[in-house]
A and B are shown apart, each in its own frame.
Chain A
Amino acid sequence: MSNSTAEPVKPLSTEQLSATTLLRFATAGSVDDGKSTLVGRLLHDSKSVLTDQLEAVERASASRGADAPDLALLTDGLRAEREQGITIDVAYRYFATARRRFILADTPGHVQYTRNMVTGASTADLAVVLVDARNGVIEQTRRHAAVAALLRVPHVVLAVNKMDLVAYDETVFAKIAEEFTAYAGELGVPEITAIPISALAGDNVVDPSSNMDWYGGPTVLEHLETVPVSHDLATCHARLPVQYVIRPQTAEHPDYRGYAGQIAAGAFRVGESVTVLPSGRTSKVAGIDLLGQPVDVAWTPQSVTLLLEDDIDISRGDLIVPSGDAPATTQDVEATVCHVADTALSVGQRVLLKHTTRTVKAIVKEIPSRLTLDDLSQHPEPGRLVANDIGRVKIRTAEPLALDSYADSRRTGSFLLIDPSDGTTLAAGMAGDAFATPADEPAADAATDGSDDGWDF
């Protein structure tokens, strides 16, 4: 385009543009550990910041009397954020390389915004936890690791930042990486990749660093581009929450009755025997429409329409599963919740529980324990949970739910608690155990903090 003002960038070929996958990731970091700089550098060095956006940042920085463009202004989009110079709310950023498209949930690092970190992590395939090389693993780092473990983010990257301020010393990096890996591993974080970086100087963010020849691993961007996002469907239980029943009732399609939904886990095949929950009725998959096109097999997260051989009563909120692989239905839900509202959640409170496409009445029967991420301390029978608290709850629902364990399925093991009086989202729920117990050692050994006796809260 002739109105471009910056140096031309070699455009990606049409082939390159379509042969990409999508990676959703979240960043977590404390206030001054350089998260905005890292995000700014990823966007900038991947050529995702365009000229007019940079000019706007330069104008705003200059009008505030700053010497250099403040890259944080790229990501702080709200008036209040720019006024206070802090990130209040999750923002979503988009950038691309030849290999992949990225959706970045840029989450605030403040303790009081734990709920936003939970929001960002809930859809993330990967979380980047930043630490300052000078400070090492601090309480906030452990909080971020705990949230990543709680939300079962499949991949965690530990970015040890500001390596330039510790003379690019390998032993500093190795000590932090070892401490974090041990801690996060005990929490059940399945995969941890530690990368020494300087976001400010650009070491190992997009380009490999010549200052750290001792490091043989990938840069942050290389890792983001190559980490696998597909699931091992062979071990997944197939699940289709019914969103909507499609019945054209037209001359062309007088008998069409399709159950539309996004496959939440696993795969479905034509001819497969299926069971509908909670009713327990069974049928066979007669056909699968993938947005108007018939297919033999479909898998998560495709949005499909399932046609069944038998005309049985199915409506929004039902769950279609393979016969023989159905979750138990229950009216007594035990879960870990992160409380995300300003009003409290109390024992005895009546709520709505939204699980997949089903919303049911429910009552909070017990709150056995609360864990404060602030100091990782546990409190038995707290009676109530307030904003940013994480706790165990027991909930009785008015109707049976086909609930998986969150450990088995992030999609069919998660739910919302909603205030029936005004619709406020109260809490994010994860059914089943809170953290994975380490396979080979007892959970009690997990704590690095002496006051924290294991994770079974």
Chain B
Amino acid sequence: MTTVATVTDEGTDSPYALSHLNALESEAVHIFREVAGEFENPVILFSGGKDSILMLHLALKAFAPAAIPFSLLHVDTGHNFPEVLEYRDRVVAEHGLRLHVASVQEYIDRGVLKERPDGTRNPLQTLPLTEKIQSERFDAVFGGGRRDEEKARAKERVFSLRDEFSQWDPRRQRPELWQLYNGRHAPGEHVRVFPLSNWTELDVWQYIAREDIELPGIYFAHEREVFQRSGMWLTAGEWGGPKESETVETRLVRYRTVGDMSCTGAVDSDATTLDAVITEIAASRLTERGATRADDKMSEAAMEDRKREGYF
């Protein structure tokens, strides 16, 4: 071949090697297209967090110049950051997408779910999610889960079969060979699909910076009224914090993850730009979940147990 020198991928020293971000992007796009080709009614779980925003961006690229052939599903805990809801509604309108909402508050109001004593609603998401999957007959559900997040997630397949109760059985997973994803499933079963499986937190941020993807402002350092609980800075709000014994103070913080306000902590930070965030994460000695998620600290196998029941 004579044109080798002209096709060098940026940032690599060998002619046909892809940079790691291009390799991850290509793999994720392949996964989106496989699902579009094999399933009848897929949906993307969309929380307004960076991983789901990245999924949406990759899906837009995968099918350009056509529209994304999937709808979105938000599992709404009722304890949302207002900036995130605003972002969600804006991108849905901008791209002409269809948004489904599974509401935890509605389940509580109907008396089907009960508020937990600790106030966290993360574990309560499983039932509204799985019932929505059944009622809308979704057969493939994209999640932004990454294997670097947590040791049970490190065991997750890219295509993960769930039974009619949405349960995950880690001991009965299909082997995943080459790039040949097996999406066969019986009626009532569905497949959870994780196109970001092989991305790390740093990859996500580098890619967001490279592609200049807009994020909700809570990912960047800003002054916020917070109080301390179990070693984390939580945002004061209508969801029930702070208690009388807890003191609110104004601090310069940002979020590494976006989830339910009652159990997602902020970190002290002065990173106001993408570059500053990347520098901060590259130097951090804490994982994003270790730094900011209370629910994962409940037990050594908290994530595995919730995933078995149908959590994403």
Contacts and interface: CB of A to CB of B under 8 A. Distances in A.
B269 interface: yes
A244 interface: yes
A93 B151 CA distance: 9
A303 B23 CA distance: 9
A179 interface: no
Given A119-B177, A299-B16, A53 B283 contact: no
Given A94-B198, A228-B14, A252-B65, A50 B155 contact: no
Interface in B280-311: 280, 282-287, 290-291, 300-301, 304
A16 B185 CA distance: 43
A244 B175 contact: no
B41 interface: no
Interface stretch (B56-64, B70-78, B235-243): B56-64
B26 interface: yes
A50 B287 contact: yes
A50 B11 CA distance: 27
B275 A118 contact: no
Nearest to A428: B177
B90 interface: no
B285 A50 contact: yes
Nearest to A234: B1
Contact of B186 (A93, A94, A101, A423): A423
Contact of B267 (A1, A5, A229, A297): A1
Contacts of B182: 354, 416, 418, 423, 425
A109 to B, nearest CB: 16
A59 to B, nearest CB: 8
A78 B169 CA distance: 11
Nearest to A300: B16
Contact of B287 (A53, A91, A234): A53
B25 A291 contact: yes
A126 B37 CA distance: 31
B206 interface: yes
Contacts of A228: 14
Contact of A244 (B1, B36, B287): B36
A260 B33 contact: yes
B303 to A, nearest CB: 9
Contacts of B154: 75, 77, 91-93
The residue among B25, B61, B279, B284 with the most chain A CB atoms within 10 A of its own CB is B284
A122 interface: yes
Contacts of B63: 244, 246, 260
Contacts of A92: 147, 154, 197-198
Contact of B16 (A20, A230, A250): A230
B286 A17 contact: no
Given A53-B290, A77-B151, A301 B18 contact: yes
Q: Which residue among B21, B26, B177, B203 has the maximum number of chain A CB atoms within 10 Å of its CB?
A: B177
B66 A248 contact: yes
Given A243-B37, A244-B33, A414 B23 contact: no
Contacts of B279: 11, 14
Interface in B170-192: 170-171, 173-180, 182, 184-186
Nearest to B174: A425
A103 interface: yes
B272 interface: no
A234 B26 CA distance: 21
A262 B26 contact: yes
Interface in A306-335: 316
Given A18-B210, A21-B12, A418-B184, A8 B65 contact: no
Contacts of B179: 123, 262, 411
Interface string A426-448: 00100000000000000000000
A10 B176 CA distance: 37
Interface residues of B, number: 82
A94 B148 contact: yes
A103 B198 contact: yes
B282 A17 contact: yes
B252 to A, nearest CB: 10
Interface size class of A (residues with CB under 8 A): 35 or more
B286 A51 contact: yes
Interface in A362-383: none
Nearest to A289: B64
A144 interface: no
Contacts of A292: 61, 64-65
Given A1-B280, A416-B180, A303 B30 contact: yes
Q: Which among B18, B21, B178 has the greatest number of chain A C-beta atoms within 10 A?
A: B178
Contacts of A6: 285
B162 to A, nearest CB: 12
Interface in B8-42: 11-12, 14-27, 29-30, 33-34, 36-37
Interface string B193-210: 000011010110010011
A50 B34 contact: no
Contacts of A301: 18, 23, 26-27, 30
B278 interface: yes
B66 A246 contact: yes
A101 B23 CA distance: 11
B84 interface: no
A3 B170 contact: no
B285 A303 contact: no
Nearest to A422: B186
Contact of A262 (B30, B210, B287): B30
Interface of A: 1-6, 8-12, 14, 17-22, 50-53, 56, 60, 74-80, 82, 88-94, 96, 100-101, 103, 115-116, 118-119, 122-123, 228-231, 233-234, 243-244, 246-250, 252-253, 256, 260-262, 267, 289, 291-292, 297, 299-303, 316, 340, 352, 354, 356-357, 410-411, 414-416, 418, 422-425, 428
28 contacts: A2-B268, A3-B291, A11-B279, A14-B209, A18-B19, A20-B19, A52-B290, A52-B291, A76-B151, A77-B153, A78-B171, A80-B171, A89-B171, A93-B154, A101-B200, A101-B203, A234-B1, A246-B63, A250-B66, A256-B66, A262-B33, A291-B29, A299-B7, A301-B18, A301-B23, A340-B175, A411-B178, A424-B174
Given A303-B33, A422-B184, 12 more contacts: A3-B268, A8-B283, A8-B285, A9-B283, A21-B12, A77-B152, A88-B171, A96-B202, A123-B178, A253-B66, A354-B180, A414-B177
